[in-house]
Amino acid sequence: MAKNKGMVSRIASERISILYSLAVRALPDEPKLAHDYTTTIIRIAEHYRIRFDPEVRAHICRKCMMPLAEGLNADMRVIARDRRKIIRCRKCGSTNSLKFAT
């Protein structure tokens, strides 16, 4: 049973990464479709209890569930002393933070 669980979570992780790339690609032309992709990503992660990549998590708005593309629908600030970047959604105003490595 343990092998099966690992395989299922690996497949779900691959599906999440594919859906995220599709959401980012669809965002400029079809924001509704991009929103649907991100809600599907969240549902998959919750169902299979998967933690997805922090980079992906920071680029999905927690309030309106839109993928955040810097310059298109999000503003980004870099705080060097704390080694993090703050991404603010232009649609709803919520912020996400991401620590980055040196």
pLDDT at 101: 74
pLDDT tens by residue, 10-46: 999 999 999 999 999 999 999 999 999 999 999 999 9
- Mean pLDDT, range 54-73, rounded to an integer: 91
- What CA–CA distance (Å, rounded) separates 46 from 68? 20
How many domains would you assign to the chain?
A: 1
Task: Return the CATH number at 92.
Answer: 1.20.5.420
Residues spanned by the domain of 12: 2-99
